[in-house]
Amino acid sequence: MKIRQQYLKQLVESKDTEFIKVLTGVRRSGKSFILNMFRDYLISSGVELNRIIYINFEHPDTDDIKNFKTLNEYLKSKADESGKYYFLFDEIQEVENWQRVVNGLRVAYDSDIYITGSNATMLSGELATLLSGRYVEIKIMPLSFIEFCDFKNYHDDSRYGRYYQEYFEIGSFPSVALLQNETLTESVLKGIFDSIILKDVCLRGGIKDTALLLRIVRFLLDQIGHPVSAGSIANTLSSGGRKTTNETVDKYLDLLEGAFIFYKADRYDIRGKERLKTLGKYYVVDLGLRNVALGRNRGNVGAQLENVVYLELIRRGFEVTVGKLDDKEIDFICRNSRETLYVQVAYELPQNSKRETDNLLRIPDNYRKILITGNPMDSGVIEGIEIISVIDFLRGSLIS
């Protein structure tokens, strides 16, 4: 069994604290696997089985405990002794009024609580009110390139270019990485795509116009790396004969973000030092989903490279925005508690490399500036700007 060590480490470090641990992320990103991995850790650490109460609320056996009252009664029958209990709840948002259950366990028991969910809205509203800062979110993403290679037992240094191309094409869902058959891979990816759209967007958002939603999804997939707005999407759809409103598009965009299928990078004015509210960029959580929805050979490879870099940056804990510098654009401004980076992405470094470095050189501060390219041979420094290939970047070079 492959162990996703960085996530297990976060769970172990937060074990036996007062905080409720909330694992969020797109469907099939590995949340259930990681929760089970932690369950195995508890058992190997000497925790008695009857002290671990694990429930997967998407399993048919749990159909009769899908509301506050029945779940509460079930838990009382299982946790009927004094002492510490570990509660592990998978996809708990399937339970009506689940927030009350979680808060009740926190108050009534010596408890350590772990929950997973495939929708960002589970951390808003009543849960935030009830817990008021007593939870920690652990964001689970599909596999990094390093994890992808580990899952597939790829460790030949001379073949990382081929490994990357496969990662680029089939994406990073754990269940997909373990497959060997191309036809099966496409079938599984299509199943994941349909499941996210139907269960986590349409069903949860009460959307009946699935055709309109799919048009918006395909528009976003086709426009990766380009600034978009609800208005520009509505206008494009209307010009194609499908009338809709900005408000409807906004609602659908919020639901798609909430299901973690898309991430939005806001624009940031470097000179004005403020976040802008218009024309952000959207990036898909997994390029395999894009390829199965649009076809592998469709679209701008440079924009897809930008998508790969964006995902890796947020995977490493950066807050990422798109930089605006007068009339120029910086692909990414990356901030965490330790540093600020400026990152430009280019599919290839042309002979006149100043075209790719000029925007970075215009920035009036001394934070690190990095150019990431799709050429595995690119490396070095140009006028203080660090040049690195995407493969070296994904393998951990330069950016911690």
- From first to last of its 400 residues, the chain has per-residue pLDDT tens of 678 999 999 999 999 999 999 999 999 999 999 999 999 999 999 999 999 999 999 999 999 999 999 999 999 999 988 999 999 999 998 898 888 899 899 989 999 999 999 988 887 766 677 777 788 999 999 999 999 999 999 999 999 999 999 999 999 999 999 999 999 999 999 999 999 999 999 999 999 999 999 999 999 999 999 999 999 999 999 999 999 999 999 999 999 999 999 999 999 999 999 999 889 999 999 999 999 999 876 778 999 999 999 999 999 999 999 999 999 999 999 999 999 999 999 998 876 667 778 999 999 999 999 999 999 988 999 999 999 999 999 998 765 5
CA 196 to the chain's CA centroid: 13
274, 326, 312: which is closest to 400 by C-alpha?
312
Identify the CATH assignment for 5-139 out of 3.40.640.10, 2.130.10.30, 3.40.228.10, 3.40.50.300.
Answer: 3.40.50.300
Q: To the nearest 10°, report the CA torsion of 14, 141, 266, 270.
A: 70
CA distance 353 to 32: 45
CA 120 to the chain's CA centroid: 11
DSSP for 115-133 reads: EEES-GGGGSTHHHHHHTT
What is the residue extent of each domain of the chain?
5-139, 145-394
Side chain identity, residue 339: E
pTM of the entire predicted model: 0.94
